[in-house]
Amino acid sequence: MKKYLLLVFTAGWLLISCKKDSELPAAPPLAYLMVYNGVPDFYGANSMVLVNNAPYGPRSYNDNGNGLVGAFNFSKYTYTDTGIFKIGFTDTTNLPLNAHKISETLLKFEDQQHYTLYLLDSLGFYEILYTRDDVKPDPDHAKIRLVHLSPDMGAVYVKIDTTAINTISHLAFRGVSDYATVSPGPKPAIRIMYRDDITGEERTLVRKSVPLEAGKCYTVILRGYRQPRDGNVNKTINLSTITNF
């Protein structure tokens, strides 16, 4: 059976009529990518992100593509093809004299999935961590997870105000918790807690108050050094919170 496309110009409008059985081409498969630099020694400097050796963009410390994250920011996902890709980071602190790769890995991106790549420093050895970010929002609650990127800090757990989040406990460096369902609030205090190695006493490592909205999903990032090697206070332990969805 023949199919016809009728174009009618009338009074400055273009009318398009298609047969019911006409089909639009399928959308190409796409994944969503965000990149975060969690290495304090890139404070005030950049690492260039490479995808299959092509520049993806620079990242300084605590940058996810939206500029300086500070205590609170939103996700910065960009479209990328699906499949297996070579992901690398370069040290560009000595440009234009020198730029070399400091870490590289292979990752597979799947259709309609959201990913975050993290550059981290294991006390002089750079690594790439990645997370799958997709989660079903809860219309009546917020959801949060914790990513531990502080190389000289031991295991931690989370309290919101004074309530412990039982599903985010004993999380060590490089650890990524599952999303936890929590009560929303205008500015609850997110507290990163730990136990003193000698006394076992509970202590607060860092505290930040950020809005947690119902129906939103957040990633909380523990970053920085307990004791920066160069004494730079901008590299000390802190929290950033990214709204993923």
How far, CA to CA in Å, does 106 sit from each of 24, 53, 83, 88? 34, 12, 10, 9
pLDDT at 237: 96
What single-letter amino acid sits at 119?
L
**pLDDT tens digits in sequence order for the chain, 245 residues long:** 444 444 444 444 444 455 555 677 777 899 999 999 999 999 988 899 999 989 899 999 999 998 766 677 889 999 999 999 999 999 876 555 456 889 999 999 999 999 999 999 977 789 999 999 999 999 999 999 999 999 999 999 999 999 999 999 999 999 999 999 999 999 999 999 999 988 889 999 999 999 999 999 999 999 999 999 899 999 999 999 999 99
- pTM of the predicted model as reported, rounded to 2 decimal places: 0.85
Q: What secondary structure does DSSP assign to 152-184, as a single string?
A: T---BEEEETTEE-TTS-SB-TT-BPPPEEE--
pLDDT at 5: 42
pLDDT at 214: 97
DSSP tag of 235 = G
Q: Tally the C-alpha atoms within 13 A of residue 37's C-alpha that lie toward its C-beta.
A: 29
What single-letter amino acid sits at 105?
T
- Domains of the chain: which residue ranges? 29-243
CA–CA dist 237, 226 (Å, integer):
6
pLDDT at 38: 95
Beta strands (DSSP E) in 75-201 are 78-80, 83-91, 100-109, 114-121, 126-132, 142-148, 157-160, 163-164, 180-182, 189-195
pLDDT at 23: 72
